[in-house]
Amino acid sequence: MAEVIFSEVKKSFGAFTAVHGLNLHITEGEFVSLLGPSGCGKTTTLRMLAGLEFPTSGDIQIGDRVVNDIPPGQRDIAMVFQSYALYPHMSVADNIAYPLKKRGVGKADRSIAVAKTAELLQLTELLKRKPRQLSGGQQQRVALGRALVRDPKVFLLDEPLSNLDAKLRGYMRVELVELHRRLGRTMVYVTHDQLEAMTMSDRIAVMEGGVLQQFAPPAEVYAAPANRFVASFIGTPGMTLMDGALSRQGGTWRFEAPGISMDVGALNDRAEPGGACLGVRPEHVLIGQGPVNGTIQVVEKTGHENIVIIGLEGGQRLTGRVPAPQSWSIGENVQLSLDAEQAHIFGPGPHGPRLNLPSNVATPDLKSAAN
Amino acid sequence: MAHLRKILFNLMAWSIVLAVAFPLFWMLVTSVKPQFELFRRPPTILPETWTFEHYWTLLADTNFLVYFRNSVILSSATTLLVVAVATLGAYSLVRFKYRGRESLAFLVLFTYLLPSVVLIIPLYLLLVQLGVSNTIFSLVIAYTTFALPYALWLLRSFMAGIPEDLESAALCDGATRMGAFRDIILPQLLPGIISTALFTFILSWNEYLYALVLVNSDSSRPLTTGVMNMLISSFNIEWSLLMAASVMMSVPLIIVFAFLQSYLTRGFGAGGVKG
C-alpha cells in the first residue's frame, strides 16, 4: 500500500511533449482513473509510473521512494495491459506464477499462491490451458490474476476492459470495484471510457494534450467541470456549449447568444465582459414553456428517456433529455427555458476556465485546471 | 468445361512434379547401377542388378568422409554464428531506438547488391591478413558475410511480430531485460529462428564458389568442392561415384528438413495478445 506522487513530471519524445509538468497526488488505497481522449498522455503517464518510460524531468514517488531510475521489476507494482500480454507459450498456471518465479518464490509456495488466485478469479478449471484456448474474458481474468498473485503496492491498469464486449465489460467493472474494496490497494486505471471512469473511481484525472485538466471525484467532474474541455468531454449525451458574450449588470452577469439571453447570476473574479461560453447539461433544458423558442430537429428514443435536439432561432442547437413518456414530433415548435442555477459559464477558448462561483457544488479544483 | 480445366491443371502440376523429381530419381538409380549398365542403350529405368559398391568405394577409398565432416562442422558453425548474431541484432533493430537504426538495417542489405564474385578477392586478402586462410574457419566467416544480412532481415520481421507488451509485462513481473528476452522473446521467436537456421544451413551446405576460391587443401575442403575435385577431371567424370556422393550429400539436408519442418508450422504464438 502506498501513495503515488507525480511532481512536475514532463515527458518528451524528441520534439513532441507527451506530458507537460504533471502534478498528481494519489493517496493510499485510492482508485484513480486517468481519463482522456487518445493521445492525451494518460498511457504515457501510466508507463512512466510502471518504469517502462522514464520522465524527461520531474519526480515520481511511490510510497516514500522516488522511483525515477528504478526498473519496473523493483518498483513493487503490477500492471494489467490492454492487450493482456499473456505469455502465449506458457499455461495459465505458469503465466500467473511468473511474477513469483522472477522474485525467487519456491515452487511449493508458488503453486499455493496460484491456486488461491485462480480460485478468487474462477480460473481453477483453466490452469492447464494455453492463453489461445481461452475466451477474451478468461484471458482478461488471467491477466488480472498475474497482477493479483503478488501483493504489490500499486496496481496499474491500462484500459483492461476495452477488448471485452459491452455486457462483460459491465460485469468486470463491478468485479474490479469489488476487488478494489476488498484489497484496499492503490489502483491507477487508464481509460478513454468516461462511464468506466465515472463508475469506478474515487477520483478522476482528466487529461488532454498532455496537460491535467481536472483532478476531482466523479460527481464534481460532472457537476462542476473545471473548464470547457472537461465540460465537453464528460457526459453522454454531451453538454450543449454555446458561444456568446458576457456583460456585467451591477453585481450579476448576463449571457447573450443568438436566440438566447439569460441572467447567470454572480461569477468568480476571473469573469470579464466579452466572449464566453454557456454550457447546459441536457437534463437542465426544460421543454414546455419559457422565453426561448426552438424547433424539434431530432428525437432519439433510448427506452427510458428521449434525447431531443432542438434548433434555436439563432441557428444554435441544444440537446435536451426528457423522461420517455414525453415526446415531440420532428418539426414541432416548442418553448423552453434553461435552468440558470445549473448553467455553466466558461471563459473563451477551448480550455476556457469555469467562471461560476463554487457555491452550489463542492469546490472544483480550479488550480489544477489552470495548469 | 470445368472438368477439362481440372484435368489440364492436374496434368500441368504433375509435369512440374515430374520435372523436379526425375533428376533426383535418376541420381538415385544411377548410384545403384553397376558401371556396365550406365551407358546401355536403350537405358534401363530400374537397375537390372542392384549394387552398393560405389557407396563402399566412396566411404572406404576416398576422402569423402573428411569432406563430409568438414561440411557438417562448417554448416553447423555458420548456422550457430549467424543465428546468434542475427537474433541479437534483430532484437536491437526492433526494440531499441537509436540514431541511424534504419540506415544501418538498409546498409546491411547493400552487400546483396554486389555480385559475390566481386567480394571474394577482398575477402580472401582479409582472411590471409587475419591468418586464417585455407581453414574451415575462413569459410565460416565468408559464409556469415552473406548469410547474416538475410538472416537479420528475416528475424527482424519475426521479431517485429512479437508484441512489445509481452516484454513490458515480463519487465513489470520482475524480469531483467535479458531474463525477459530468454523467457518470453526467445520462445516466441522459435519458428523464426528455425526458419533462419534452416536457410543458413542449406546455404552453407550447398555453397560452392567461396569454397573453391578460399580453400585448397583436402583437409579443409567441404563436400561441394571436395567431391568435384575428386571425381571430375578434364578427361573423365566418375558418374557412378558422383551420383552416390550426391545421394549422400542430399541425405543430411533431407533429414534436417524433415526434422525441423514440423517446428516451422508449430507453435506460432497466436492468441496470447488480443486486440
Whole-number Å distance between alpha carbons of B158 and B138: 30
The pLDDT value recorded for residue B267 is 39
Q: Give the closest of A99, A130, A156 to B173, CB-based.
A: A99
Q: Identify whether A353 is part of a domain.
A: yes
Q: In chain B, whose CA is at the least distance from the CA of A91?
A: B272
Mean pLDDT value across residues B83-106:
90
- Report chain A residues touching chain B, CB-CB < 8 A: 47, 50-52, 71-74, 77-79, 81-89, 98-99, 102-103, 130-133, 136, 139, 146, 156, 162-163
Which of A223, A256, A291 is the endpoint of a domain?
A: A223
Domain shared by A183 and A321, yes or no:
no
User: Which residue among B168, B179, B269 sits closest to A102, beta carbon to beta carbon?
Assistant: B179
| pLDDT mean across residues, chain A | 90
Of A176, A200, A223, which residue sits at a domain end?
Answer: A223
Q: Is the pLDDT reported for residue A38 higher than 80?
A: yes
Interface A-B: count of C-beta contacts within 8 A: 92
**What CATH number should be reported for the domain holding residue A310?**
2.40.50.140
Nearest to A131 among B165, B176, B271 (CB): B271
Which chain B residues contact residue A52 at CB under 8 A? 168, 171-172
- Residue A233's CB is within 10 A of a number of other CB atoms, namely 23
Whether B173 and A86 lie within 8 Å, measured CB to CB: no
- The alpha carbon of residue A91 and the mean position of all alpha carbons in its chain are separated, in whole angstroms, by 34
* A296 domain-assigned: yes
What is the tens place of the pLDDT at every residue in B151-193? 998 899 899 999 999 999 999 999 999 999 999 999 999 888 9
In a domain, A228, yes or no: no
The pLDDT of residue A144 is 92
Q: Tell me the shortest Cα–Cα distance from B246 to chain A, in angstroms.
A: 40
How does strand A31-35 pair with strand A186-191? parallel
Residue A102 is which amino acid? K
**Share of residues in chain B with pLDDT > 70 (%):** 95
- For A221-249, what is each residue's pLDDT tens digit? 999 999 999 999 999 899 999 999 999 98
Based on the fold, state whether residues A184 and A266 are members of the same structural domain.
no
Same domain, A157 and A96: yes
CA-CA-CA-CA torsion for A317, A323, A329, A334, nearest 10 degrees? -60
Domain count of the fold of chain A: 2
Angle at B223 between CA B221 and CA B226, to 5 degrees: 55
Query: Across chain B, what does the average pLDDT equal?
Result: 88
Chain A nearest CA to B84, separation (Å): 21
**Percent of chain A scoring above 90 in pLDDT:** 68
CATH of the domain at A201: 3.40.50.300
Most B-contacting residue of A132, A134, A142 (CB-CB within 10 A), to test interface: A132
Distance, in angstroms, between A65 CA and closest chain B CA? 17
3-state DSSP assignment of residue A218: helix
pLDDT at A102 over 90: yes
Same domain, A325 and A211: no
CB B201 within 8 A of CB B151: no
- Alpha-carbon dihedral angle through residues A155, A158, A159, A163, given to the nearest 10 degrees: -100
- Report whether A88 contacts A132 (CB < 8 A): yes
Residue A238's Cβ-count burial label (10 Å; 0-12, 13-18, 19+) is middle
As a whole number, mean pLDDT of residues B91-116 equals 85
For residues A70 and A202, state if they share a domain: yes
What's the pLDDT band for A359 if we cut at 50, 70, 90? Answer: low
Question: For the segment B125-151, what is each residue's pLDDT rounded down to a tens digit?
Answer: 999 999 888 999 999 999 998 899 989
* Beta strand extents in chain A (DSSP E only): 4-13, 16-26, 31-35, 57-62, 65-66, 77-80, 154-158, 186-191, 203-208, 211-216, 240-249, 252-257, 260-265, 274-280, 285-301, 305-312, 317-323, 333-338, 344-346
In a domain, A160, yes or no: yes
Domain extent for A331: 237-366
> pLDDT of A121-172, one tens digit each?
889 999 999 999 999 889 999 999 999 998 899 999 999 998 888 888 888 8
Beta-carbon count within 10 A of A136 CB: 14
Same domain, A218 and A247: no
Cβ-based neighbour number of residue B134 at 10 Å: 17
Q: Which domains does chain B have, with CATH numbers?
A: 66-231 (1.10.3720.10)
Contact residues on chain A for B269, CB-CB shorter than 8 A = 88-89
Q: Give the pLDDT mean for A10-29.
A: 94
pLDDT digits (tens, 9 = 90+) for A60-80: 999 999 999 999 999 999 999
Same domain, A241 and A206: no
Q: What is the least distance, in Å, from the CA of A84 to any CA of chain B?
A: 6
Closest CA to A75 of A94, A52, A58: A52
Q: Which of A188, A223, A258 is the last residue of a domain?
A: A223
Beta bridge partners of residue A227, listed in sequence order: A353
Mark whether A293 and A350 lie in a shared domain. yes
Per-residue pLDDT reduced to its tens digit, A175-197: 899 999 998 999 999 999 999 99
Comparing C-alpha atoms, which of A47, A81, A96 is closest to residue A67?
A47
Q: How far apart are CA B134 and CA B111, in angstroms?
A: 23
